[in-house]
């Protein structure tokens, strides 16, 4: 019950426009989340940790698409000619 209340409190805190109240409500939600996690049965604790590790692995393994596109554009800009009869082109 505390875990559901904590998640609701954090969600409500993120919707508040006033910064001081937002920080106070989110902090209260984090305290409730910690208390709910400590009081939860061990299978819920282990399941939560495994779920968070799975989400972390999914997030980490994703390549950064913008960086790849930027590097490919830079490579295309620097290559002017490909072949044995090409002269060296200054990259600047």
Instruction: Give the pLDDT confidence of 31-57 residue by residue, as tens digits.
Output: 998 998 899 899 989 998 999 898 888
The confidence band for 83, taking pLDDT boundaries of 50, 70 and 90, is low
Q: Taken in order 10, 19, 55, 50, is the CA torsion positive or negative?
A: negative
Is the pLDDT confidence value at 59 over 60?
Answer: yes
Is the pLDDT confidence value at 81 over 70?
Answer: no
The answer to whether 40 and 3 have CB atoms below 8 angstroms apart is: yes
Question: What is the Cα Rg of the chain in Å?
Answer: 25
The confidence band for 58, taking pLDDT boundaries of 50, 70 and 90, is confident
Average pLDDT value for the chain: 78
- What's the distance, CA 81 to chain centroid? 40
Cα 71 from Cα 65, distance rounded (Å): 10
């Amino acid at each position: 019950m505390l875990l559901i209340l904590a998640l609701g409190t954090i969600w409500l805190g993120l919707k508040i426009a006033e910064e001081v109240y937002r920080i106070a409500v989110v902090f209260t939600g984090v305290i409730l989340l910690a208390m709910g996690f400590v009081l939860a049965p061990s299978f819920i604790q282990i399941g939560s940790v495994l779920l968070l590790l799975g989400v972390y692995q999914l997030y980490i393994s994703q390549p950064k698409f913008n960086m790849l596109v930027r590097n490919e554009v830079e490579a295309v800009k620097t290559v002017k000619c490909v072949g044995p009869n090409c002269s060296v082109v200054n990259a600047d």
